[in-house]
Structure formats: C-alpha cells, structure tokens
Amino acid sequence: MKFAAGQESKKAGYKVPFGTVSITPRARQLINEALDSKWVTKGKYVHEFEERFAALFGMKHGVAVSSGTDADALACAALYDFGARRGDEVIVPALSFVATGNAVFQAGLTPVFVDVQRDSLNIDPALIEEKITPRTRAIMPVHLMGKPAAMDEICAIARRHNLRIIEDAAEAHGAEYKGRKIGAIGDMSCFSLYAAHIVTTIEGGMILTNCGQTAEALRSLRNHGMTGKFTFSRIGFSSKMNELEAAVGLGNLDIFGQILETRRRNMLYLIDRFRRLDRYFITLKEEAHEKLGPHAFSIILREGLPFGKDEFVSYIESQGVDSRNLFYSMPTQCPSYAFLGHRIGDFPQAEYCSDQGTHIGIHQDIEISQLDYAAEVVEAYLRRKGLTV
Ligand SMILES: Cc1ncc(COP(=O)(O)O)c(C=O)c1O
C-alpha cells in the first residue's frame, strides 16, 4: 500500500530515513471538517480516538494528552490520588529516552534508576528490589524498541511490595508478552504518538487504564487539575489533545493493522539479515513468548571490535542510512541529571548500550530493497575493517 511520507522521512534526503507519518485521506477529511466547524480543541474526534485506541488494547479507558512525555507525567501524578506524596519514588530503567525520567520529575516525584539488561535493553528485574524503599510508589518499566520488559517478574515484585505499575509503552504499540498486549498489563500504560511512532497524531500521547478512578484523575490532571466548573482540585497540567491531532490518529487507527504488518515484515527481515553478523552486533531478537512492537531496529557493537560506534555511525550516515543514538543512561550520561550525584560506572549496561548502540528505521514507508541497502552498507563497512561477513 502507499503511505503519505511525512517530514521525518524526507529529512536530509536519506536513502533509509528513520521515521514517517501516515496521514490518510480520511484524516484529511476529518481535519477539514474540524476546521470548518471551528471546533478544533478537544471534542468529538478526541473522544472517538480515545474510545477506539482503548478498545484496540481491550482497555476500559483512554485519556488522550499532548505528548508521550505528558502521558508518563500524568500517570505519575495520578499516584497522588492513591496515597503518594511529593518526592515519593518511582523506579525506572536507567536506559530510556530522557522523557521517561523527566516525566517523573515533572510530576513532583523522584525517579530511582535501575540498570538494564544488555540483550533486552530493558530494566533488569533482578536489580529492582534492592532499590525499593518505604517511599517507593510505582515501577515504570519501558518496553524499549518495542521489546516487552520482563512483566511476570515485575508484576510479582509490584504485588509483593504493593506498588503500581506504569508501563511506558511509548515505543511498543502492537507488542505482546505471553499472549497479553503490552499496554494492557500495568495499572496504567503510556503511549507516545509522536511522528516517528507506530500510531501517530504527529504530537500526542495516550494513557490507558481499566480503573475508573484513575481515568477520572487523569482527565482532571490534563486540564489544570479541574474537577467541577473552575474548581481546581489537583496541581494539574495543560496537556489536552486537539481535534486535528485526533483526526490524524483516527486515520492511523484505520490502517493500524497494515502499518503493523509492514513494520513487522521490515523488522523480521532485518533480524534475519543481521543474524550472520551476530558475532559483531547485538540486535533485536524476538523470543517465543513475545511479539515485538516494530518501532525501530537497534544495533549494539559487541566488545572487542576494531572500530568504535561513532566511526561506524558516521559511515552509515554518510551512506544515507539515518540513525539515532540508543538513548542514554539518564542518571550518568545526561548532564541534566548530574545533580543526583551518580557516577559513570553505576549503570554499566545502560552506559554500554548508549556508548555502543544506535538504531535505524523500519517504518511502513521503507521497502525491503532499502533494508537490503542498509545491511549492505553495514557489511561494506565491516569489510573495510578487514572483517569477514
Ligand atoms: C520510551 C519513551 N518514553 C517517552 C517518550 C516521550 O514521548 P513524546 O516524544 O511523545 O513526548 C518517548 C519518545 O519517543 C520514548 O521513546
């Protein structure tokens, strides 16, 4: 099928661009209708988008917000309705897009970081319990690169310590864990609908929950903490989604199955194509118990290679393969977190993934021939370094 290319995919004329946006004919029609009606702030399309998004995941409530970061922040702030106090702690993986940690701070809570597993990129469940204190209120696993976190272990820990689970499923639309949909396991789940993501509203986010009380708190939080008419009962945010964004999202939901299928085809193709390079790179793997959400394809250099990540990335970029760093160990590699006093070496796996990792696009506008090209670029680089492929 033909998808309309967005600005991300046109950027800098990349041969293998990182992201894209699908804006369907129906989305264009809804946008025009909203503009004609002059009702462009939160209205009927946002409502329909919330209902359909929640239904897709078998969840009762969807609360649309203006970004994935706000989704994370509001989910954290909703903890106040369940006994949390300012400064209480939320356990998060050290490795993620910085939005995960920022959102906890934005909610007035404190992120407590746990190292990840190099192979899965996700929070190491064996290291969580030692970080739990009397002030811990929640665990926020991130399903990085659409790879499900170890939810059985995380749920068991949460049960033992009476903690809530907030899934950061920003990159994991369509992922499954032991037959359950990612985003339908925790008490709340948060999605980013940013342009490069699987379902997009261009900018936007969604929080799902089955709990009516939580949904009510979230709706109030996104609207300045309002409850009645101009009664402000919580310290809220201003993070509503508008009708134009919801229209783009509704168009995306119409073709969600097709987007997912094309992205999965691309992801599985690259997984297979990189198998022969396994001695050089750690790449995404899909195990029997899971389905990965096809967000992007991570490539981590193994130890002992005769080249470094920066040189490797410069080469593939020079050949037209767009890439992004595999994020950072927030507490030790983001200067904004220096005040926490962590030191390099405190989160060795997260730091390794960041120092040696990158990720490239597998989106719905990428053809198999482009993936072949990306793999050939990588192989050509290895040959230049005297390595066999
Ligand atoms: C894991 C993760 N969490 C949160 C976010 C924040 O989403 P947004 O960019 O929509 O604010 C992102 C964005 O890509 C993300 O990757």
DSSP string across 293-319: --SEEEEEEPTT-SS-HHHHHHHHHHT
Quick check: helix, strand or coil at residue 89?
strand
Task: Please give the distance, rounded to the nearest whole angstrom, from the Cα atom of residue 202 to the centre of ligand 1.
Answer: 12
Mutate to test the pocket of ligand 1, among 18, 21, 69 (most ligand atoms within 8 A of CB): 69
Average pLDDT over residues 181-208: 97
Question: Would you state the structure tokens that stand for residue 19, as one six-digit string?
Answer: 């992201």
Q: Whose CA is nearest to atom 7 of ligand 1?
A: 68
**Residues 167-175: what's their mean pLDDT?**
98
Average pLDDT over residues 121-128: 98
Q: What is the mean pLDDT of residues 25-39?
A: 96
Query: What is the percentage of the chain residues whose pLDDT exceeds 90?
Result: 95
| pLDDT class of 2 with cuts at 50, 70, 90 | very low
Output b/e per residue, 195-207; b: 16+ Cβ within 10 A.
bbbbbbbebbbbb
> Is residue 36 scored above 60 in pLDDT?
yes
User: Domain 256-377 maps to which CATH number in 3.40.50.720, 3.90.79.10, 3.90.1150.10, 3.30.360.10?
Assistant: 3.90.1150.10
| Alpha carbon of 98 to ligand 1 centroid (Å) | 8
Atom number in ligand 1 closest to CA 193: 10
Q: What is the mean pLDDT of the chain?
A: 95
Ligand 1: residues whose CB is within 6 Å? 67-69, 72, 96-97, 99-100, 142, 168, 170-171, 192, 194, 205
Q: Which two structure tokens, joined as six digits, stand for 139?
A: 């665990």
CA 304 to ligand 1 center in whole angstroms = 32
Res 97 pLDDT > 90: yes
Report the separation in Å between the CA atom of 228 and the middle of ligand 1, taken as the mean of its atom positions: 31
Q: Which atom of ligand 1 is nearest to the CA of 196?
A: 14
Atom 8, ligand 1: residue with shortest CA distance: 68
pLDDT single digits (tens) 285-312? 999 999 999 999 999 999 999 999 999 9
- Average pLDDT rounded to a whole number, residues 28-41: 95
- Counting from 1 in the atom list of ligand 1, the atom nearest the Cα of 204 is 10
Instruction: Give per-residue pLDDT as tens, 139-159.
Output: 999 999 999 999 999 999 999
CATH 3.40.640.10 spans which residues of the chain?
Answer: 7-115+123-254
> If DSSP states are collapsed to H, E and C, what string results for the chain?
CCCCCCHHHHHHHCCECCCCCCCCHHHHHHHHHHHHHCCCCCCHHHHHHHHHHHHHCCCCEEEEECCHHHHHHHHHHHHHHHCCCCCCEEEEECEECCHHHHHHHHCCCEEEEECECCCCCCECHHHCHHHCCCCEEEECCECHHHCCCCHHHHHHHHHHHCCEEEEECCCCCCCEECCEECCCCCCEEEEECECCCCCCCECCEEEEECCHHHHHHHHHHCECCECCCCCECCCCCECECCHHHHHHHHHHHHCHHHHHHHHHHHHHHHHHHCHHHCCCEEECCCCCCEECCCCEEEEEECCCCCCCHHHHHHHHHHCCECEEECCEEHHHHCHHHHHHCCCCCCCHHHHHHHHHEEEEECCCCCCHHHHHHHHHHHHHHHHHCCCCC
Confidence of residue 12 (pLDDT cuts 50, 70, 90): low
Is the confidence at residue 69, as pLDDT, over 60? yes
Residue 9 has a pLDDT of 44
Instruction: Say yes or no to pLDDT of 10 above 70.
Output: no
CB 357 within 8 Å of CB 3: no
Distance from residue 205's CA to the centre of ligand 1 (Å): 9
**Which of 92, 121, 171, 190 to probe ligand 1 with, by most ligand atoms within 8 A of CB?**
171
Atom of ligand 1 nearest to the CA of 327: 16
Domain limits, CATH 3.90.1150.10, in the chain: 256-377
Q: Residues 6 or more apart from 238 whose CB is under 8 A from it?
A: 222, 223, 224
Does domain 7-115+123-254 bear CATH number 3.40.50.12780? no
pLDDT value at 5 more than 50: no
Amino acid found at 265: R
| Residue 13 pLDDT | 80
**Residue 194 phi, psi (nearest 5):** -65, 155
Q: Give the pLDDT confidence of 70-87 residue by residue, as tens digits.
A: 999 999 999 999 999 999
Q: Indicate the range of 7-11, 25-29, 108-112, 261-265 predicted with least confidence.
A: 7-11
Q: What is the distance in A from the centroid of ligand 1 to the CA of 38?
A: 30
Query: Is 163's pLDDT higher than 50?
Result: yes
How remote is the CA of residue 68 from the centroid of ligand 1, in Å?
Answer: 5
Structure confidence at residue 4 (pLDDT): 38
pTM comes to 0.95
Single-letter amino acid, residue 247: A
Cβ count within 10 A of residue 220: 24
Opening angle at CA 111, ends 108 and 112, nearest 5 = 145
Q: How far is the CA of 325 from the centre of ligand 1 (A)?
A: 14
Closest atom of ligand 1 to 197 CA is: 14
pLDDT in tens, 354-388: 999 999 999 999 999 999 999 999 999 999 999 99
pLDDT band at 326 (very low <50, low <70, confident <90, very high): very high
The fraction of the chain above a pLDDT of 70, given in percent, is 97
pLDDT in tens, 215-250: 999 999 999 999 988 999 999 999 999 999 999 999
Residue 6 has pLDDT above 80, yes or no: no
CA of 386 to the centre of ligand 1 (A): 38
What does the pLDDT read at residue 285?
A: 94
Which atom, in ligand 1's list, is nearest to the CA of 203? 10
Distance (angstroms) between ligand 1 centre and the Cα of 387 equals 36
